[in-house]
Amino acid sequence: MEKIAPYKMKNSVNLRLGVISGMIVLAAISRFLPIVMPSMANFSPVGAMALFGGAYFMRKSWAYAVPMIALWLSNLVLNNVFYKEFYPSFSFGFETTVFVSFAAMVAIGTVFLNKVNLVNLLTANVLGTLAFFFISNFLVWYGGKMYPQTLTGLATCFTMGLPFLKNTLLSNLLFSGVMFGIFEYAKTQVKELALVRA
């Protein structure tokens, strides 16, 4: 096994950390593109960002922090500039329902994508999509006033959320395919990216 000098290892860690973080930031910025924003409800790179961070950051604190900060900052701009009709007063960009569901997807990425391959990626996407769907809709029912606090109300909440499930899964698969594909290819071209986990 090839021995790696400490300074080279540090440079590799910094490079990998920067590339992973940069890709997550770019994915968050892509939320401002017309094809992603209002055209298809729940069609965004958010789920892919969570899985990507969970898969490639060795430090779990980074796996949660970087995607969540990117999500929060993009929410600040989206809510206060593009979606002002839904947020008449200033939005701080933090919605508990979304961020708890998002954290669950990061956790799925850390568990199921320790080794990245097609089967694991598909499994993580399906489980992540379902986790987001069930957690977010449950919290909407539990903490909101839209549905009665009964089993019938919960069933109605899940039923009303079903039309968004397809777009969530499609966007997770698409953006995951792009993000994971680019990074796995980059690892074959830049050996420093493959030497360590950031």
Residue 17's closest CA among 62, 61, 80, 78? 62
What pLDDT is recorded for position 10? 66
Look up the pTM and report it: 0.88
Task: Tell whether the torsion through CA atoms of 128, 117, 50 and 25 is positive or negative.
Answer: negative
What pLDDT is recorded for position 11? 67
Q: End-to-end CA distance of the chain, in Å? A: 20
In the chain, what is the greatest distance between 2 CA atoms, to the nearest angstrom?
62
Tokens for 150, please give them.
């009964």
Q: What is the pLDDT along the chain (198 residues), one digit of tens a residue?
A: 444 445 455 666 788 899 999 999 999 998 887 655 555 677 889 999 999 999 999 889 999 999 999 999 999 998 898 888 888 899 998 888 999 999 999 999 999 999 999 999 999 999 999 999 999 999 999 987 889 999 999 999 999 999 999 999 999 999 999 999 999 999 999 888 886 554
What pLDDT is recorded for position 2? 45
